[in-house]
Structure 1
Amino acid sequence: MSLSPVYITGTSVFLPNKPVSSDEMEEYLGYINGKPSKSRKIVLRNNGIETRYYALKKGGEPTHTNAELTAEAIRGLFASDPAGIGGVDLMTSGTSSPDQIMPSHGVMVHGALPELGAVEVVSPSGNCCAGMHALKYAYLAIRSGDARKAVSAGSELMSLLMRAGMFEEEVHHLIDLNENPYVAFKKEFLRWMLSDGAGAFLLEGQPKAEGQSLRIDWIDGVSYAGEMETCMYQGGDKDEEGRFRGFKLYSSDDLINQSVFSVKQDIGLLSDNIVPLGGRKVKEIFERRGLTVDDVDWFLPHISSAFFKDKISEVMSVLGKGIPEEKWFLNLSRIGNIGAASIYVAVDELMRSGRLKTGERILLLVPESARFSYMIAMLTVV
């Protein structure tokens, strides 16, 4: 069976409302225990994020669901030809923050896109790699001939989980016990890290007739969960012995009093392992594919914080030398960390920048700290 080349022939992004400055954040997310955060400025100084987007009004009222954000991004692919969406025969959509546990995020996106018609829907879950998993499924479907036109998307709606009300019961419980009423740093610091938004790609077996397309040369991934413990999580927690316990093992009171559904991250575990594990996979891929740093014209790494830029440089240095600064493309300071959507948003912005030249190669790197997974891809401008 011959395999078809696969091209990204369209990109689209939907960022809700207007950019939110760092000074405005608590006007949207609220004040835990009625007091300004003591950690906010410290975290923001380290993460380098200056503005981000929330699907919220001031005061915390939602303006969109995750499914609606994703539907708007996909709809944007067909802004100049709305009828063209009817030719799509596969839609994949990845996120780490679905609106519900069931039904799947993907079918809820489909429900918000009735003009899509009856199509196959695939809905990867997880963390930052979920958007790349959606892309890889769509890529393989086109490559094998199983689909002719596919849409893949990545999205996040994290702000609803970062509102003060998600932590109030735990704070009041601690006060009643005469304990420190501040929420643990591993929970609160993520309030100042995460953003909302969605991005989408249109994939086909041939480049578009006019303008630039991106050929997907390959997409590789790896999980190190077989040797690593849980690092970033939601809907569970670690007990006193460090064992992870899912939400089904908690009483209804503990679900609230321990903020089990807030998002948490083990910073020490992350810092110790994100570089060596990422470097291991990058080196293996480049050696297997006969590539060097010189084969990369643009480098688009997903980073959750400016703090990790130097660490990503260390990851790439396993190739003998790092990727020069002028080849990096980052938008974290302006857009924020949108998890599974971040790589879609970065590719879209680079495509629209007018800076790409035919034949240039773009390396995508998406690390995921949940249990240490990585997705890596190479694109060529055609």
Structure 2
Amino acid sequence: MNKPFSQIRQSETSRSVDEITRGRRLRRMRKADWSRRLVQENRLTVDDLIWPIFLCEGENYSETITAMPGVERYSVDRAVRQAKKAAKLGIPAIAPFPRENADFKDLTGSHVASPDNLINRFVRAVKKEVPEIGVITDAALDPFTTHGHDGILRDGIIVNDESVEMIVRGALSQAEAGADIIAPSDMMDGRIGAIREALDSNGFQDVAIMSYATKFASAFYGPYREAIGTSGLLKGDKKTYYIDPANSDEAIREAEQDLLEGADMIMVKPGLPYLDIARRLKDTFAMPTYVYQVSGEYSMIKAAAANGWIDGDKVMMESLLAFKRAGCDGILTYFAIEVAEKLGQK
């Protein structure tokens, strides 16, 4: 019986490569399409996809996002039609992000708690028209603050506990609108436990929490910030509450804390530069683990494809398969519609 290479004795190393590898030809199963499919270790399916969608005010209206070719902001009615399309393609869930008008922004992001904000209006509409699709909402404050931060800014500092109180109010308003999963992206300490307690106390025990447990202070978010209108922070940056990209152990501690506080799922953001984090989280906790292929990743692929430097479709599919290989159970990606259509053609 052939021994694995790890058990080959030192004395055998002098033998020829042909002698050592005889019977161990790994290329055998790569020779044909059918055999490659037979031994494929990871597969990407439509069930792995979550589609982030951008919202804007208006009626029967949409607008392009310059930094994200192929992505648009939709008025609520058009966004509902897009949700119907996603559901028909078999995409399990959709994640709305709003570009709120300046009139609805303030220093504390209080509009996050309004039943009439863009997210909540969309959730109510989509739950009425497309009840079969899941809706995942973010209770972070950045779309609703005049300064663009994810928390409340006091004297140049993002104040944690006061921010958590407002985030909890936002989470409750989203649950009341019909959100299935609350996914807070703000990275404030203690917000998962506070949200869980508030949901349970108000009769929303079945609303799950997907924690942005490891959200890094990344340079890959630029196009997204253009999309929701927070590209110019009035003061400072987000390094005091997002994780340093250099830190891996800290990310594990963050995820552990959120799980202990009641998170049902954890997320890594961004995606491809942080595959090691996804793998560590899955191996450490064996919990449902998701990844957000962020706007910068999307836009780089689109830009390179537009210039003819790469095959856009192949790189798109390869990038998503990499997340599955790293242990992710699902992927938030702006490619979701394209990928679902492509998978449906097979």
Higher relative contact order, structure no. (Cα contacts within 8 Å, ≥ 6 residues apart): 1
**TM-score of the superposition, structure 1-length normalised?**
0.29
More strand by share: 1
More helix by share: 2
**TM-score of the superposition, structure 2-length normalised?**
0.31
Greater C-alpha radius of gyration: 2
